Amino acid sequence: GESVGLHLPTLSVQEGDNSIINCAYSNSASDYFIWYKQESGKGPQFIIDIRSNMDKRQGQRVTVLLNKTVKHLSLQIAATQPGDSAVYFCARLGGYGGSQGNLIFGKGTKLSVKP
Amino acid sequence: GAGVSQTPSNKVTEKGKYVELRCDPISGHTALYWYRQSLGQGPEFLIYFQGTGAADDSGLPNDRFFAVRPEGSVSTLKIQRTERGDSAVYLCASSPGTSVWDTQYFGPGTRLTVL
């Protein structure tokens, strides 16, 4: 079946360093990807999204890169802060070519920021 | 403004009992989603409402699970004859409903424990 997965389950970085969280997907028809941040005891919080007609999109301290050739996307967090400590999920829209509104999530990467 | 709210925040029940979980979406959002999140996993889609109708209930695991949204706002997820395997965090999300690419905003979830 379709899946969205992550390369690494945990990532530990020093405060102030840049963080890179990776995600691979299997459905070549996927055309919309979203990154969510989930802190302990809370629901997922939208960070940034990207459509398949883009290779890169930037937000505040975050950048998402999409490589459709190898079906890979990454989330880069600049100058990582303790408040960035959380589990990060990549997700895509369900259905063929993102035709359905439900989200399909990967397992998540836990980011720990050392002070 | 107010975000998505869910009640109760925690629910402990005994195997075989019936439970109801409530979701209050963001005001004006016509799309409402239910997801289930097991420990250490990403959220898994259960059901999606557009207005009062269930547009996609393909994620409901079996007929013990049912959800309603009678007035197109508040939704209730109902689980009959609960089983220990139903223990998870149940998340609700809402979006404006104008496009499948609308951002989904999640509530804090209800943690269900079946003893």
pLDDT per position as a tens digit, A59-113? 999 999 999 999 999 999 999 999 999 999 999 988 765 567 889 998 899 999 9
Half-sphere exposure of B100 (CA within 13 A, CB side): 20
Per-residue pLDDT of A19-74, as tens digits, reads 999 999 887 777 899 999 999 999 999 999 999 899 999 999 999 999 999 999 99
Reported as a single tens digit per residue, the pLDDT across B53-103 is 998 999 999 999 999 999 999 999 999 999 999 999 999 999 998 888 899
CA distances, A112 to each of A14, A26, B88 (Å): 8, 27, 24
Q: Which residues does chain B have within 8 Å of residue A109's beta carbon, measured at their own beta carbons?
A: none
Collect all residues with Cβ–Cβ distance below 8 Å to B51 and sequence separation of at least 6. B30, B69, B72, B97
Chain B positions in Cβ-Cβ contact with residue A59 (cut-off 8 Å): none
Q: Delineate the domains of chain B, giving CATH numbers in brackets.
A: 5-100 (2.60.40.10)
Coil, strand or helix: which one is A16?
coil
Which of A46, A51, A99 is closest, CB to CB, to B105?
Answer: A46
Is the Cβ pair A107, B59 closer than 8 Å?
no
Going from the C-alpha of B81 to that of each of B11, B76, B86, B89, the distances in angstroms are 15, 16, 10, 18
Residue A95: Cβ within 10 Å count? 18
Query: What is the domain count for chain A?
Result: 1
Instruction: Identify the residue with better confidence: B2 or A45.
Output: A45
Residue B33 token pair: 């989603």
Here the CATH number for the domain that contains residue A56 is: 2.60.40.10
Give B114 to chain A, closest Cα distance, Å: 18
Q: Which domain holds residue A71?
A: 4-114
Burial label, B89 (beta-carbon count in 10 A; 0-12, 13-18, 19+):
buried
